[in-house]
Structure 1
């Protein structure tokens, strides 16, 4: 159920909004009396119930944003010249708010007032937030600044330097503005030779931005014909609404496209407009802008006097150095006795010519001797002689290689024969042919000692022509004294074993490789 809108008249007179609660209200608050003692929590709940029950909801509060914190929820303060109140906007409400506020924004906050007991704080719980008045223009200004900054409009690298001595300056402003009078007076005082071309435009109102942008483009397009070396856009101070024409996008585009150096001085030092951020140079005031553009006449005179003094001093030093060089050259012998210098030079030339001829003859003799020595050396290096010598060496090495190969083959053959004889000697089949036998357990493993078997173990005895199966009837200790084996039978595998004797490659079949004394090989 929604509450009725706030009616200020109902909050006046006898039924004042903050009058003490009636008896009916006290009963609703749990029968609380003036003499009753309550806890802090009860007091906090009482404040909360009173605020939520007596204040109208929703409330629309106008104020300025401060201490804004953007988390999942928004926390900020809303203030004016008289008071400040804490505000909270829950995430569900934040999702419905189209713009994110900043500190300094003037807004209208819609919501209800309640008391938060854990922190003892009375807060405005905001459900809707919208800009109001100047705050809306500031929001537009910041949004356009962010957009132009992202496009590179404010980059210092694209800005050009101002001319040192501009012949003519185009001043784009209103002809009735005080800023124009400041510009003209400052220019006349600093440098009367600098000409001013005044371009009258509106500097306030809806059509002002169009006229300013058109003037910038026309002056830039005809700068060479008009003799304009720089452009100054200026006006006096005012509110944000008064200066808004210089924050329009078309003015920023015209300033960016201008190839002529441009200076902007809009409003007071505390005012900032977009044209100032885009321009090549920003000045705080119109007077400062002229001082940046026009050189000071007195400074020029001082610089001229200084340069004249430097030039005279430099000329004197150069003349003095030239005189010293002439005097030094005049002391040379070539200038005092030219004939003697010529005779001395001729003598040196003859001596060097004689030495040169001797050096040439000596060099030719050394080279001729070296050539003869190399001819004799090359005679012994003829291809035919080298070939005969190399061929004998090859024949000798070939014969040595053959002898070595035959010798190594014979040694390898003897080694293989010895290994083959040794393998035949240790082959278990050759041992069986000599009358020996091999006894194994039926489960596998050679029996090397009577202690290796127990009564009841089944044994297999390998002889030359077959296998015998038997069973132990007494354990190892009794058998050592004269045990016996019974149940001996000849295996049917004997004939087959005799017919199919395994080769050397198949020696790893049923019977393991054994040594001469019955051990596994």
Structure 2
């Protein structure tokens, strides 16, 4: 029986369907070789070990998300799917992610610690401490070599030279890095008085996840969490996120940004001060001018001038007071004299001598005036007072009733 011959395309298509359906997702460990980075943005490389090799492709959109800078000789773990490239008649691995070998375990540890500390509430914003606006001194925890310390010194001297910078040199990579950073944090917190910084900056440059591992250790996170001094974390580049960044009171994308967050801009402060002084001067001048206008208004008002008018009026009245007093006293004296004369005239009418002059006689018995005949009897001795003298007499007979 003769078997029908397949075309190359048909055979390749069958292999493609079978292979791609059998291996829709794979994880492959190997060493990178022949890594190419053309201007298209795609990455082309070969994964190999001691017994075989497989071509691999990383499309542009995936390459942009990689956390690792791929290079020849790097041991990696690639995840993706197998694909048959029919024009060349070969299969290749289409990578969805590539991590440096050993980073898988680091990522698992990172995720586990992240869940633990999140459950403890170490990332909550309400427990974050705010660095002082005008720090006297800044504690810097970083490597004494490299561009980090130089960049931060330049930023701090330019923005706020008044702040003193105190460096505690530490290892920022390797087995001893985490204990070194923890020791620095504890040392700064143990200082007192002027030796104690107002803010701490933990910084290092970028790197792979393995390079930054010290800042994903729980011991470093605990030392930052317990720090009584506000901590600014500036670990790696802006795209790198570490546990230290999330526990710290502030996170900066780069060490230079951390320096900018730690201190104010002195030039901006001076501009703000000048503007504030100008505004206050203008406000004070406006208030003074307003007060002057108000004073002028008050000086011209009736209420303000009325006391002066009253004083002038009282002065005129005081000048005329002696004359008015003399006239008043004279009038009072005349009235008093008139009253006195009238009283004298009235009293003269009551004088009994005036009555005697009209022909009447005053009769007294034993020195007392007799006003009626019933008071006299036969033989009583009386005294008779006339206009021109007195006589003694004796009563003869009884009182005769009229008519």
Larger Rg: 2
Please give the secondary structure, in 1, of the residue aligned with 2:113: helix
Q: Which has the higher contact order (CA 8 A, sep 6+)?
A: 2
Q: Which residue of 2 aligns with 1:315?
A: 284
1:143 aligns with 2:119: no
Whole-angstrom distance in 2 between the partners of 1:218 and 1:312: 48
The alpha carbon displacement at 1:254 in A equals 1.2
1:243 to 191, 203, 212: 212
1:203 lines up with 2:172 in the alignment: yes
1:144 & 1:47 partners in 2: Cα distance?
42
Shift of residue 60, structure 1, vs aligned partner = 7.9
TM normalised by structure 1 equals: 0.43
Tell me the equivalent position of 1:33: 3
Equivalent of 1:215 in 176, 179, 184: 184
Deviation string, structure 1 residues 392-418 (Cα, Å, up to 9, x no partner): xxxxxxxxxxxxxxxxxxxxxxxxxxx
Q: Deviations over 1:88-143 (max 9, x none)?
A: xxxxxxxxxxxxxxx9997589xxx9xxxxxxxx9x9xxxxxx9422221222122
2:364 match: none
Is the Cα–Cα contact under 8 Å of residues 223 and 260 in structure 1 kept in the other structure? Answer: no
- Aligned-pair distance for 1:193? 1.0
Do 1:203 and 1:209's aligned partners in 2 also have CA atoms closer than 8 Å? yes
Change (3 A) 1:155 1:289: same
Partner of 2:257: 288
* SS of residue matched to 1:199: strand
Q: Distance in 1 between the 2:245 and 2:3 partners?
A: 67
Contact 2:189-2:227 at 8 Å conserved across structures: yes
Match of 2:155 in 1: 186
Does residue 329 of the first structure (1) align with residue 298 of the second (2)? yes
Cα distance, 1:36–1:321 mapped onto 2, change above 3 Å: closer
CA change 1:222–1:104 in 2 (3 A) is closer
1:274 aligns with 2:243: yes
Q: Could you say if the C-alpha distance between residues 221 and 185 of structure 1 is closer, same or farther in structure 2, counting changes exceeding 3 Å?
A: same
Distance 1:265 1:46, change over 3 A: closer
Alpha-carbon RMSD across the aligned residues, in angstroms, is 4.1
- What residue ranges of structure 2 are gaps of 5+ in the alignment? 31-45, 48-53, 59-65, 69-75, 83-90, 94-99, 312-403
Which structure 2 residues correspond to residues 88-487 of structure 1 after superposition, within 5 A? 107=77, 132-222=101-191, 224-338=193-307
Which SS does the other structure have where 1:307 is aligned?
A: helix
Question: TM-score normalised to the size of structure 2?
Answer: 0.54
Task: Name the CA distance, whole Å, in 2 between partners of 1:164 and 1:217.
Answer: 23
Q: Offset at 1:84? A: 7.4
